[in-house]
Every structure is written in C-alpha cells, then in structure tokens.
Structure 1
C-alpha cells in the first residue's frame, strides 16, 4: 500500500509539473505572438514619434517645399520573393546625368519621408529613386523585413535603374535607420551590379537580433531571453529567416566598395555604439562621421551643412 501511495503521489507531481510547463510554454508563445505583431507586423507603433508639420524656419522646410512640387515618376518592381508589387518615386536631375542615388527609408517609414535626402542628392546633381520597402508605404507585404529580404529587392531596383538609365549608370545606395541597415546588407550581396560605386549608411544597426533585443529592454524592460528567440522562431516560420541570420555585420564584412558611415552622437534608438564594429568590419575604403546632437536619424536635421558637405566630399572622392 505504501508503494502504491508513493507512485500515485509521484504521478500527481509529474502531472502537475507537466501542466505547469504547458502553461508557461503557452504563456511564452502567446507573449511571442504579441511581440511579433509589435516588432514585425506593419501597423502604427506607439513607441514611434508622430510626424510633425514642417514649419517655415525649420531646417527641413526648403527640402519639404521642394519635394511637394517636384515632378515624380512612379516606378514599380516585383519583390525578389513572394511576388509583391513594390512602389517607388523617381526624380530626374535638373540636368541629364548618369548618376543616381537609390534611397532607403527607415522602420515604418516610406519614400515620402525621405524628402530631405532626395533634396540633398538632387542638389548634388543626382537622379533619385525612392522605393517603399515591402510592407511600407504603397508597396505590398504584411511584414517588416528589417532589410534582410529587402536587400534583394533593392538589387532589383538597382538593376531597373541600369535598364532604364543605361549601362554607364553610376549609382550610390543610401539609407537611414532600417534603410541604413538595408544599405549595408545590399553591400554584401554577391551579384550587386558593378554600377554601384559607393554606399552611405546613416544610423543602421549591427543585426536584427541585437536591435530588437535592445528595444525590448529599452521600451518594455524585457530580457532578450527567451522572448526575442521565440519571436525570431515565429518569424522564421512565417517569413523564412531568423533575426540572427539577418546580420548586417556579416554583410559588411563582404563589402569592398567605398562606404560612408554616419551616426548621431547621442542616438538611443539605434545606439551609437553599434556603428563602431560595423565600421571596423568593412573591408572597403571607408569614412566615419559622428554628428553632434540628440535623436535618432536626425543628423541631417541637426547639422544639414555638415551632413551635406561630408556626403558631397565623399561622393566627389569616389564618384569622380
């Protein structure tokens, strides 16, 4: 009788433990699905600052006024995977040129929010192509790629520029935040056309896993383990890649073309410290600009002359 009692007690303990594990696992999976929606599903995000009206006197006002009135062509492309229809604005230079800047926007941004950079490149004499990444703006898609699937889309955009503007095209790829990460991811793609002569990235992250882990801690005071791994696994099932696989750092290590790295000195959304290992890992000719001031992706707004002059000198050096 004692043996039977002990076996029953042990069975109850095993069942209780199994039930607890099931409840915890279900809770973690539920939390993972919730944060997958926060991090990966395109939708308004409470942690992003709302766009403010550009007022006269703002450093962005001339660029904004120009962008509202300049003629824009609508270009379309199909994504490299999933057959999504992608949308872009193309702005021709005032004088015919074979130089084109392909501009990549940030997380939950769109092509129209990149008006100040379009203005800068236009004033430097470039044609400008401003795509909407998949899941953003007027492009199709139900997930945010953080630059990883987008890197292949941007290669297709680059090839479209060459097809339309000629084999003698000279192209610079530029991006801010997620677009900066996308730019660096493009630099490591094996078949990037030779017409891409330089890259300029502004405040991109080292890899998707590290950035989402950082944001989980900053925004929700949550540890990276196990939540970020769960969200990454869900993303693998739904979208075909893990966050660790989406490594900007590994892509930059493959680059041999000139790259200008820009980061704000006091960036607390993509921390400034991320730019240093990226700069170190790059194998091509490279330059680094740390711009004084606070805020994320605000370096142009904070110091437009310093920003433009640095970009101009970099391009004059490598796209002579």
Structure 2
C-alpha cells in the first residue's frame, strides 16, 4: 500500500503567497475605484434658495486662468468688505447658505460659487485643493474689481475641501486679508492616510497613485507646512468635536502649525459641517466677530 502524497512545504508557501497577492490585488483594485470616485463625484443640482434668502443676490460667472467657467451668486457689500465662501466635496454653493446669510446680515459682500467639477460649473476632475486654488483666484479677481468693495478688505471662508483650498489660496494670494476654515484637512496625503489607512500602504498607495496619475499634485495640497507664511493675517479654524472626517488630532496639528494671530473654535456635539445645526447663534457670532476684527478693524 502506497503512502499518501502530501504537498511539499515549498508548494504550500507558494499557495499562501498567491493567496496573499490575490487579497492585496482585490484591496488595491477597490481603492483605485474609490480614488476614481472621489476625483469624479456625482453632481448635486443647484436649487434656488427659499424666498427671502440672499434676496439681493445676482447670478455671476467666473473665468479661471486655466479656462473654466464657474457659476455662482454675489450679494453686494454694504460695508465695503467682501468674503468669498467655498463649499465642500460633492456639494455646491447651496451648502453654504447659512454662512452667506450670516455674513450678508453683517453687511459683507458675499460670493458663493460652485467649484470645478461641482454644481453648474465646468470641469470633470476634482483635485482636492490643487487646481481649486485657481477657482479661488478667479473669485478674488471678481470681488476685488467690484465697485462696492474696497480691495484691501477681502476674506475667505471655506468648509472641508473648501477650507483647505481657502488656506492654500490665502497662502498664495496676499489680497486675502483673513481666512476662516471649517473642517479642513492639514494636507491631502495626511487626509488620505487617515481615510484609507485600514490596510496601511496596501490601501493608501493605490489612492495616492491614482490621484497623481490623474494629474493631482498631492504634495502641493499641504497648507499645514506653510501656515506661518500668512505673515500676520488672521486665521480662524472651526471643527466639531465628534467629526469623523476631520478628527481632533489632525485639527489640533493644523492649529499648532499656524502662527498668531489665530483662533480655534470647537463646536460641542458637531459632526462634519454641523456647526449651524448645533450652535447657530454662536457660529454666526464667531464668523461676524472674526471678519469684523480682521477686515473692519473691529468696527
């Protein structure tokens, strides 16, 4: 009677390695698909605000230096100052109606617009703050040329991706005299590692590779490395204390990297973007007081 033949150890090792490689391939493929989805989000329709909301708004079209047309609304200034307001990922200008109304009530000119690849604006690639810097530059070009605005009294407010873009844009454009960022990420790579780091490099690197191959300059989206280059222009950071997308340790690092003058307001019980829901009066007051001090000399 012949003895049963057992697989050799080398064969078992090969089979195990093939199994690991198969699992790794599946994880990488899924994360490549995820990266493609975050570069090309579905558009959200722009619905007109309720009656009475931003009643004095006019439709505007901005032209970026790389050839895109961005659609938005502008509310004229009554105090000679203006604030550009930027929405987050996979949203549009209507996401920021509370903020726009609050600033308009305080007398500010307000420009809301759909970033590239969002809402009614041109573009089909979202670059997470990289090329969106050109969107903000076009917005500043627009408001700085308004007859109702003094060009030395311009600020920017952004949420999430818009917040990071606001930081990047202010670092590059000295026309912006004050910057407020809510739920922003300190760098695109840090945010990617946090969001897709379940399997370490196996899940992170496919996302970063896909972004880079699509033309996103990941390394350029790193405002935390240069925040002190604001050179005395005021900074306000806002975050919710239970925000799963902008965790406290990343927000704390962003604040610590900044130089004075700086403020940091943490909204109790707020998830990502829930500042107006959890503390509407305090949120409006923080925005008004910050921009009043920065752009109006506290008047």
TM-score (norm 2): 0.82
Alignment coverage as a number of residue pairs: 280
The yes-or-no answer on 1:300 pairing with 2:276 is yes
Q: Per the alignment, do residues 34 and 124 of structure 1 end up closer, same or farther by CA in structure 2, a change over 3 Å counting?
A: same
Residue 313 of structure 1: which of 275, 289, 294 is its match? 289
Tell me how far 1:122 sits from its aligned partner: 0.5
- Name the SS of the counterpart of 2:201 in structure 1: coil
CA distance in 1, matches of 2:293, 2:61: 32
Choose 98-107 or 204-213, whichever is displaced more: 204-213
The answer for the alignment partner of 1:216 in structure 2 is: 196
Equivalent residue number for residue 257 of structure 2: 281
Superposition map of 1:1-320 within 5 A? 27=26, 30-43=29-42, 65-67=51-53, 70-81=55-66, 83-93=67-77, 95=78, 97-165=79-147, 168-169=150-151, 170-189=153-172, 192-194=173-175, 196-217=176-197, 222-242=198-218, 244-256=219-231, 257-319=233-295, 320=297
In the TM superposition, what whole-angstrom CA distance separates every residue of 1:151-207 from its partner, at most 9, and x where no partner exists? 232022101211233773211100111111111111221xx143x221111111111
For residue 286 of structure 2, give the secondary structure of its aligned residue in structure 1.
helix
Q: Distance in 1 between matches of 2:241 and 2:170?
A: 24
Q: Deviations over 1:268-296 (max 9, x none)?
A: 12112222111121224111111111311
For the residues of structure 2 that align with 1:73 and 1:106, how far apart are their CA atoms?
A: 22
Structure 2 Cα separation of the partners of residues 154 and 125 of structure 1: 21
Which sections of structure 1, spanning at least 5 residues, go unmatched? 1-11, 46-62
Structure 2 CA distance for partners of 1:299 and 1:22, relative to 1, 3 Å: closer
Q: Secondary structure at the match of 1:308?
A: helix
Check 1:87–1:19 CA distance in 2 against 1; reply closer, same or farther (3 A cut). Answer: same
Residue 146 of structure 1: SS of its match in structure 2?
coil
1:239 Cα shift? 2.0
Find the aligned partners of 2:234 and 2:210 in 1 and give their Cα distance: 36
For the residue of structure 2 that corresponds to 1:134, the secondary structure is: coil
Question: Residue 294 and residue 315 in structure 1: after superposition, are their counterparts in 2 closer, same or farther (change >3 A)?
Answer: closer
Contact 2:109 2:149 in 1 (8 A): no
Cross-structure match for 2:3:
none
Q: CA deviation at 1:139?
A: 0.9
Q: CA deviation at 1:24?
A: 7.5
C-alpha deviation, 1:101, in angstroms = 1.0
For 2:21 and 2:246, the matched residues in 1 are separated by 36
Q: Which residue of structure 1 lines up, in the alignment, with residue 5 of structure 2?
A: none
Q: Distance in 2 between matches of 1:28 and 1:309?
A: 46
